[in-house]
Amino acid sequence: MLARFLPGVLLAPIVFTVLVGNVVLWGAIVFLLGLLKIVLPIQLIRDVLHLAYKGWCKGNYFGVWLACDNWQVDVEGELDESAWYLLISNHQSWLDIMVLSGLGRLPAPKFFLKDELKWVPFVGAGAWAMDMPFMKRVSKAKVAKNPKLKGMDVERTKRACRHFRLNPTTIINFVEGSRFTSEKHQKQRSPFKHLLKPKAGGIAFALEVLGEKMDGLLNTSIVYHGTSETICKDMLFGKLSKIHVDIKVQSISPDLLGNYQHDREFRVEFQQKLNDIWQNKDVQIALMQENSELPKVTPAHSN
């Protein structure tokens, strides 16, 4: 990797150029294939589209590898590239997307994206072509004025998940809904040390549509070992000593399938199960961080 030989001021522009160039190249190709898919909605076009998408994933790995070649990926269970999975993970940085897509072990990783990203050149167009859902968060005040807004994300999620039936896919959901920061953690008064509170709706709707087709749940935790709290800066300047990914392949039990939107009892039970998963993940992340030689920053709690 270049970080072994180049100082950060020279490494950063190289890594940045590779990652941006990767997005521009494959984003344009995927977008053009997406337009062709509208004209010729046949499986062959979808297969070619997924091959191009795989090129983007490999480019992500190469770009990050230039800055950090020490990837520790622990998998508990068996992964199948021809399967359908739901992956849930903690979220700390946009680098999470590069890492998860670059693992090379997951069938077609696809993400739930913030609505604002659809306007980002090449990123938004490529995500649209791959049928990824753009999630638009609305405040309770806006929902009170216009109740129809409450179901917008539900329909987007369900529509996207129906498309996911056509090719082996890993649906990736950053359950916290936002990147972890000390400020957000304190504002939420999160009961977890290393995580924000989980949001259950997205994965519940995905399971409602694709649950019977899903081959498993990938309970994933990501930890970066760097020199500061700014993960992307550490990566660009070659200051990441290790990227650690832990994946637990778990079965999807029938009690995780139900009508989350309209069945209140199921919704409460689902939220409790997710909180239990998140509590265990908080412990897992703490154990993964023990390998770090760096000081850990503990967010302050409000009483």
Which residues, 6 or more positions from 145, have their beta carbon under 8 angstroms from its beta carbon?
Answer: none
Output the pLDDT for position 300. 35
- Indicate the SS3 state at residue 170: strand
d(CA 270, CA 200): 7
Output the pLDDT for position 144. 61
Angle at 235 between CA 242 and CA 179, to 5 degrees: 90
CATH code, 83: 3.40.1130
Does the residue 12 lie in any domain? Answer: no
Nearest to 175 by CA among 205, 148, 152, 150: 205
Task: Please count the residues of the chain.
Answer: 303
Q: Structurally, how many domains does the chain consist of?
A: 1
Does the residue 296 lie in any domain? Answer: no
Paired tokens of 57: 């994933």
What average pLDDT does this structure show over 90-110?
93
- Sign of the C-alpha dihedral, residues 262, 265, 269, 275? positive
Output the pLDDT for position 4. 76
Does the residue 33 lie in any domain? Answer: no
Q: State the pTM of this model.
A: 0.86
Indicate the helix (H) or strand (E) that contains 174.
Answer: strand 170-174
Does the residue 294 lie in any domain? Answer: no
Q: pLDDT by residue (tens digit) across 130-149?
A: 988 777 765 556 656 666 65
Lowest mean pLDDT among 127-131, 150-154, 219-223, 291-295: 291-295
Paired tokens of 46: 């979808």
d(CA 111, CA 128): 11
Question: What single-letter amino acid sits at 168?
Answer: P
Q: How confident is the model at residue 260 (pLDDT cuts 50, 70, 90)?
A: confident
Nearest to 110 by CA among 38, 190, 56: 56
What average pLDDT does this structure show over 192-201?
92
Does the residue 29 lie in any domain? Answer: no
d(CA 79, CA 85): 9
CA count, 13 A, side-chain hemisphere, 31: 14
Q: What angle in degrees, to the nearest 10, is found between the helix axes of 8-39 and 43-67?
A: 180
Does the residue 148 lie in any domain? Answer: yes
Does the residue 134 lie in any domain? Answer: yes
Q: Tell me which residue range forms the domain holding 229.
A: 70-289
Q: pLDDT by residue (tens digit) across 214-244?
A: 899 999 999 999 888 889 999 999 999 999 9
d(CA 38, CA 9): 44
Does the residue 8 lie in any domain? Answer: no
Q: How confident is the model at residue 288 (pLDDT cuts 50, 70, 90)?
A: very high
